[in-house]
Amino acid sequence: SDSVYIYDEAGQAMIQQQKPWLREPHYFKSVRISALALLKMVVHARSGGTIEVMGIMQGKIEGDTIIVMDAFVLPVEGTETRVNAQADAYEYMVEYAQTNKTVGRLENVVGWYHSHPGYGCWLSGIDVNTQLQNQKYQEPFLAVVIDPTRTVSAGKVEIGAFRTYPEGYKPPDEQPSEYQTIPLNKIEDFGVHCKQYYPLDITYFKSSLDSHLLDLLWNKYWVNTLSSSPLLGNRDYVAGQVADLAEKLEHVENQLAHSGCVGTFFVPPHKKKEEESQLSKITKDSSKITVEQVHGLMSQVIKDALFNSISP
Amino acid sequence: SLLRQISSLLRRLPAIESAKFQDDFLTEYNDTLLMTYLAM
Amino acid sequence: EEQVSVIREGLAELYVNEEEWSKAAQMLSGIDLESGIRMLDDTYKLSKCVKIALLYLEDDDAVNAETFIKKASFLVNNSKDEGLNLQYKVCYARILDLKRKFLEAALRYYELSQLEKREFEGRQVDEDELQQALTAAVTCTILAAAGPQRSRVLATLYKDERCSKLKIYPILQKVYLERILRKPEVDAFAEELKPHQKALLPDNSTVLDRAMIEHNLLSASKLYTNISFEELGALLGIGSQKAEKIAARMISEDRMKGSIDQVEGIIHFGTDMEELQQWDQQIVNICQALNDVLDSMAKKGL
């Protein structure tokens, strides 16, 4: 199982020469991320709090899979508020990659990651541009997005891996990827660009040493499970979610009210269908938030029964 | 020494007992139930 | 003026040889740097101000030294002489230390201890001097008034692995981990202090006493939910009245959370941690205690 950690320099050089990804815009289908890289990226994303942070991933190619072996932080913040945040860190990136080679870390840079705190894993317009540039000059290159806030509330890592299509390429109709809530103030940015890229399947791997260390950690992990309160840690995020839901409800209500005034028989079926789909999304969002809240409450009640109800 | 450890462990229970905790706990409980009701 | 300054510098040199530091400083301070008759560049003026301040510091005269270091602070930005700039920084840190602005002094000592460049016009800054600066940073932080700012600097120093090799490390560790310091440890630490750090305050206690009492009070606030002033006084080794006065001052300066019931003579320590978070913390402690019991049973083969 540790063979993935051996780097075949000649093999990688050959792939670089053949450039199979040029033949097909959809060439890369999946990503494998090492436990180490995943942990480093999530910890870094969490450390940024509500500020978007950014880093670089190192790894290699295996067929149509990009393998991410490690990740490192870039001294850049606020990726969604600058045209091309990565440009600020080029010098650092180059120096880091070269220094790595001198110490025997031969993996090349294979992508970048950044965080979307609280608003889901997708590529914004700025991200699409950055990724298009990278895929033009630094192939093979992958874009990974992590949402640290939803990671805490959902209890699993919210992460997405994407590749952009070449400009002007018309993708075949995609099967809808897993549903995720997009906040109202981001929906436009999401909608305009969501056809310019596609998600890759993500799987993880770990070394035998990782397994051993994680097993040891697992022995202590039960303490975290019993002493955590998702309700407490995520108040701001949930409040933001409910506010976003209220805004969307008002939005749809106005539309329905508007279409209602010309009577339903004038509303073309696809328009009616579209409003229903928006309402059904809102319903889905509200039940998702509520289920997470109820889970949190259940754990509080269990903790209360376990640790408070014992009278001496 | 083992028995002493166990008795000190038991003396830590219940984990917390204060009027303030009860208030906060019930507030959180009611908030979540209210959210469930509103979602319904 | 040229001749006057040459004579003054010569006389100052003689005073220095006789270790008459203040006289040497006064002799140099008579040189007119601002007359405008002679074109003097900032580096020359800066070197004179720093030299005068250092001479006053040899006599622990922080007031006069500060006068000249303030003049120097207007000149230091234009100076390219790194050796002189370093002297300026050392001088400034020592003046803050003398004036008992311990937290600011600690931050400057710490900055000096992280010096990268070691060579200044043939003058070598060796590892020993950096270690002295680091020790001075730790000492000043410990002497600083207890509170959130001091805790932040303590955390920085505690995480700096160079500190673990210092003789002062054990007390730094106890102070950082907010453990109560016993009298023997405080006395051992007192031996390392400079005279001005042992100076008496108006209420006849020393700077160190005050720092230690405040530290122990803050540690007690982490241990107890509430405590009577008799007990608190006994724990701190002072009278209950004094314990109440110090606690009241720390609470009013927002360096400690709590409230005082003067009728009952009890202090209730507060915490900015929410009840629900405290609950989680208690659960962690219970689980850890359970884990320890299981580990010791496993060790005993039970």
pLDDT one-digit tens code per residue, C172-184: 999 998 888 888 8
ipTM of the complex: 0.78
Residue in B14, B28, B33 closest to A308 by CB: B14
> What local confidence, expressed as pLDDT, does residue A80 receive?
72
The number of beta carbons lying within 10 Å of the beta carbon of residue A8 is 12
Residues of chain A in contact with residue B14, where contact means CB-CB under 8 angstroms, are: 307-312
Question: Cα A260 vs. chain centroid, distance in angstroms?
Answer: 38
Return the residue matching tokens 């010098």: A91
- Grade residue A6 by pLDDT with cuts at 50, 70 and 90: very high
Residue in A220, A226, A232 closest to C283 by CB: A226
Residues of chain C in contact with residue A232, where contact means CB-CB under 8 angstroms, are: 274, 276-277, 280
Q: Where are the alpha helices (DSSP H) in C126-206?
A: 127-143, 148-159, 169-176, 183-191
User: What average pLDDT does chain B have?
Assistant: 91
Q: Report in angstroms the alpha-carbon separations of C198 from A284, C65, C210.
A: 68, 20, 11
> What local confidence, expressed as pLDDT, does residue A265 receive?
54
Q: Which of C100, C172, C116 is nearest to C139 (CA)?
A: C172
- Grade residue A275 by pLDDT with cuts at 50, 70 and 90: low
- Grade residue A260 by pLDDT with cuts at 50, 70 and 90: low
Angstroms from A95 CA to nearest CA on chain B: 50
Residues of chain C in contact with residue A297, where contact means CB-CB under 8 angstroms, are: none
pTM for the whole thing? 0.67
- Grade residue A178 by pLDDT with cuts at 50, 70 and 90: low
Instruction: Encode pLDDT of A38-93 as tens digits.
Output: 999 999 999 988 889 999 999 999 999 999 999 999 988 777 777 677 777 888 88
Residue A113: strand pairing partners: A55, A144
> What local confidence, expressed as pLDDT, does residue C38 receive?
78
> What local confidence, expressed as pLDDT, does residue C290 receive?
93
Measured between CA atoms, the residue of chain A closest to residue C282 is A227
- Grade residue C302 by pLDDT with cuts at 50, 70 and 90: confident
- CB C280 to CB A232 under 8 A? yes
- Angle formed at CA A204 by CA A203 and CA A207, multiple of 5 degrees: 150
- CB B28 to CB A312 under 8 A? no
Angle between helices C127-143 and C169-176 (to 10 degrees): 40
| Residue C237, CA atoms < 13 Å, CB-side half-sphere | 14
Instruction: Encode pLDDT of C196-252 as tens digits.
Output: 888 887 878 888 888 889 999 989 998 888 999 999 999 988 999 999 999 999 999
- CB B12 to CB C282 under 8 A? yes
The number of beta carbons lying within 10 Å of the beta carbon of residue A266 is 9
Q: Which of C160, C153, C125, C159 is nearest to C139 (CA)?
A: C153
Judge whether A123 and A162 are in contact, CB under 8 Å: yes
Residues 6+ apart with CB under 8 A from C61: C22
Least confident interval from A156-165, A224-233, A263-272, C73-82: A263-272
What is residue C258's three-state secondary structure?
Answer: strand
> What local confidence, expressed as pLDDT, does residue C18 receive?
94
Angstroms from B37 CA to nearest CA on chain C: 24
Residues of chain B in contact with residue C296, where contact means CB-CB under 8 angstroms, are: 1-2, 5
Measured between CA atoms, the residue of chain B closest to residue C282 is B15
Least confident interval from A86-95, A104-113, A246-255, B11-20: A86-95
- Percent share of chain A, pLDDT over 90: 46
Q: What is the mean pLDDT of residues A205-223?
A: 90
> Rounded CA gap, A248 and A184, in Å?
7
> What local confidence, expressed as pLDDT, does residue A175 receive?
59
- CB B9 to CB C285 under 8 A? no
pLDDT over 70 (residue A264): no
pLDDT over 60 (residue A266): no
Residues of chain A in contact with residue B10, where contact means CB-CB under 8 angstroms, are: 312
> Rounded CA gap, A24 and C254, in Å?
64
A residues 282-301 lying closer than 8 A (beta carbon) to B: 286-287, 289-290, 293-294, 296-297, 300-301
Angstroms from B39 CA to nearest CA on chain A: 6
User: What average pLDDT does chain C have?
Assistant: 89
E strands in chain C: 119-120, 123-124, 226-228, 258-261, 266-269
Residue in B5, B13, B28 closest to C292 by CB: B5
Instruction: Encode pLDDT of C260-297 as tens digits.
Output: 999 999 999 987 778 888 899 999 999 999 999 999 99
pLDDT over 80 (residue A311): no
Measured between CA atoms, the residue of chain C closest to residue A225 is C284
Residues 6+ apart with CB under 8 A from A78: A51, A52, A85
> Rounded CA gap, A292 and A144, in Å?
25
Residue C267: strand pairing partners: C227, C260
- CB C279 to CB A303 under 8 A? yes
Instruction: Encode pLDDT of C46-93 as tens digits.
Output: 999 999 999 999 998 889 999 999 988 888 888 888 888 889 999 999
* Test the C interface: residue of A219, A227, A299, A307 with most C CBs within 10 Å: A227
* Test the C interface: residue of B1, B3, B4, B5 with most C CBs within 10 Å: B5
Q: Which chains touch A (3 or more CB pairs under 8 A)?
A: B, C
Measured between CA atoms, the residue of chain C closest to residue B10 is C286
Paired tokens of C275: 């009840």
- Grade residue A270 by pLDDT with cuts at 50, 70 and 90: low
Q: What is the mean pLDDT of residues A213-241?
A: 87
> What local confidence, expressed as pLDDT, does residue C35 receive?
78
> What local confidence, expressed as pLDDT, does residue A236 receive?
84
> What local confidence, expressed as pLDDT, does residue C247 receive?
94
Q: What residues of chain B have any CB closer than 8 angstroms to a CB in chain A?
A: 10-11, 13-17, 25, 28-29, 32-33, 35-36, 38-39
Instruction: Encode pLDDT of C15-47 as tens digits.
Output: 999 999 999 999 999 988 887 777 888 888 899
- CB C296 to CB B20 under 8 A? no
Task: Report which secondary-structure segment, H or E, holds B28.
Answer: helix B19-39
pLDDT over 60 (residue A312): no
Instruction: Encode pLDDT of C85-123 as tens digits.
Output: 889 999 999 999 998 899 999 999 999 999 877 777 777
Q: Give whichever of A227-231, C104-108, C253-257 has the largest mean pLDDT.
A: C104-108
| Residue C112, CA atoms < 13 Å, CB-side half-sphere | 30
> What local confidence, expressed as pLDDT, does residue A17 receive?
92
- CB B39 to CB A289 under 8 A? yes
Q: Report in angstroms the alpha-carbon separations of C82 from C47, C53, C115, C137.
A: 11, 18, 12, 22
- CB B28 to CB C279 under 8 A? no
